[in-house]
Amino acid sequence: MYDIESALTLWLSDRMRRVLHIQSGILDFSREFLKQKEFVEILPVVISPITDPLTDHRIRGEVECYGFRYQITKSMIFHKQLSLYSLPRLYTFSPNVRIEASECRFSGKHLIEFVQLDLEVKDARREDLLNLGEELFVHILTRVKADFAAELKFFRRDLKIPSIPFRRITYSEAVESYGLDYDNKLSVSIDEPLWLLDFPEENREFYDRENPDRPGILIDMDLIYPEGYGEALSGGEREFEYEKIKRRIMRKGIDFKSYEIYLLFAQKGLLPSAGFGIGIERLTRYICGIQQIAETRMFAKLPGVLSL
């Protein structure tokens, strides 16, 4: 049953109003920064014959229109790559739907519908995106601190502006120190954001570029929030060569048929690029110091819970 009383309590609260003001600021400050960096905003795609495979998400949201099967966007990775034909630096605020396992309801950081600030840069290398991500993050934090001091005080949030460059470690170093479930332990152990680099191929999707000098290792990254807030963003360089993309799809055991249209473009030639996507609700959660992601937006949808 839908819990109308809890919804009303949340929506009528001073706390919610303050969260939404800060969140609106986060969107403004992101746009302000990206405009300075000559990015162009494109509109989000909600349904398409192709979306991010995210092979750990077994349930595919699909709609049938006019006899064609469209999938509900899990991420706009392929649409970002294809938009590079028109624009060399682009971003979008993309609503993603991912049917997460119902036990994720208790994680405090999973929604089944969330928004990513998703950006892509033609001819960029991972290094460029690490620098851009750091500057973007520091810009947003600095602007929120300046414009929303009263709100942050309300949340008793003493936000530290991290120093650039952020520390970097590799995936294998993280696993060595914290084990395969390094996720939370690593985030709890740091008090400044940290880059996690070089994921193994089996942990990621086929579109993250394999390091030509280190087979099986990808040129990609995650940004990890400090204080236990977990993963902030994921990104990397992209595979753009047809044969390599085909090989990667095959190694994942994915049917070529489901990426037929994408492969047609790849055959014509995709453009080299790198990019990343940062979840807005998780960023709001971190900035406000809120434990429950359900309190970071209107109409938050927790896995397994009927939501508006």
Which residues contact ligand AMP (rule: CB under 6 A)? 75, 98, 100, 110-111, 114, 116, 231-234, 277-279, 281-282
Cα separation, 236 vs 248, whole angstroms: 15
The stretch near Mg ion (CB under 5 A) out of 82-90, 115-123, 176-184, 232-240 is 232-240
Which CB, 30 or 234, lies closer to Mg ion? 234
Please, what is the minimum distance in Å from the beta carbon of residue 233 to Mg ion? 7
Encoded one letter per residue, x for contact with Mg ion by CB under 5 A and - for no contact, window 233-272 reads -x--------------------------------------
**273 touches Mg ion by CB under 5 A:** no
Q: What is the CA radius of gyration of the chain?
A: 19
Q: Is the dihedral of CA 117, 221, 51, 243 positive or negative?
A: positive
Q: Which residues contact 269 (CB under 8 A, 6 or more apart)?
A: 240, 242
Please, what is the minimum distance in Å from the beta carbon of residue 150 to ligand AMP? 26
Please, what is the minimum distance in Å from the beta carbon of residue 112 to ligand AMP? 7
The stretch near Mg ion (CB under 5 A) out of 6-14, 70-78, 231-239, 294-302 is 231-239
DSSP alpha helix (H) spans, the chain? 4-11, 14-36, 77-83, 126-147, 149-154, 171-178, 182-189, 242-251, 260-268, 280-288
Which CB, 148 or 166, lies closer to Mg ion? 166
280 neighbors 26 (Cβ within 8 angstroms): yes
DSSP letter for 291, please: S
43 neighbors 92 (Cβ within 8 angstroms): yes
Which CB, 66 or 197, lies closer to ligand AMP? 197
For the chain, report the end-to-end CA distance as a whole number of angstroms: 11
**73 touches Mg ion by CB under 5 A:** no
Cα separation, 197 vs 202, whole angstroms: 14
**96 touches Mg ion by CB under 5 A:** no
Please, what is the minimum distance in Å from the beta carbon of residue 88 to ligand AMP? 22
Residue 278 contacts which entry, Mg ion, ligand AMP, none (Cβ below 5-8 A, type-dependent): ligand AMP
Which CB, 193 or 277, lies closer to ligand AMP? 277
Q: Which residues contact 245 (CB under 8 A, 6 or more apart)?
A: 206, 207, 239, 263, 266, 270
Nearest residue to ligand AMP on Cβ basis = 279
Residue 111 contacts which entry, ligand AMP, Mg ion, none (Cβ below 5-8 A, type-dependent): ligand AMP
61 neighbors 112 (Cβ within 8 angstroms): no
Residue 114 contacts which entry, Mg ion, ligand AMP, none (Cβ below 5-8 A, type-dependent): ligand AMP
Q: Tell me which residues touch Mg ion (CB under 5 A).
A: 234
